[in-house]
Amino acid sequence: MTKRRATEDANSSDEEESYEHSIPVLIFLPVLPLKNRSIALEALVQWERRRSEYEAKMKAHCRSSGDNYDHVTQVRSTRICSRRSAL
């Protein structure tokens, strides 16, 4: 009986190795907006650089998917600009 079990185990492992997934899996990685953690000048300059890279990625994504950039991004920048102009 032990030989029979060994051959069954060998056959089942061959079947598992030859099995391939037939359904493609989409991988979705969202592009998250940046968060500013410091108000030091160096950190702000670095954040501004990374922010422009983020905006370029989002614009490219919107061009390829057909979405409207203004609808995809948040409207926080207009509130920040209005606060700066009020100061």
CA distance 83 to 16: 62
**What confidence tier does 51 reach under pLDDT thresholds 50, 70, 90?**
confident
10 domain-assigned:
no
Number of domains into which the chain is organized: 1
Pick the residue with more confidence: 22 or 37? 37
Residue 48: other Cβ atoms inside 10 A: 11
Mean pLDDT computed over 2-14: 52
Residue 64 structural domain: 39-87
Cβ contacts of 50 within 8 Å, gap of 6 or more: 34
CA distance 76 to 74: 6
The pLDDT score that the predictor gives to residue 63 is 87
11 domain-assigned:
no
51 domain-assigned:
yes
CA distance 73 to 62: 10
With 50 as the cut, is the pLDDT of residue 50 above it? Answer: yes
With 70 as the cut, is the pLDDT of residue 39 above it? Answer: yes
32 domain-assigned:
no
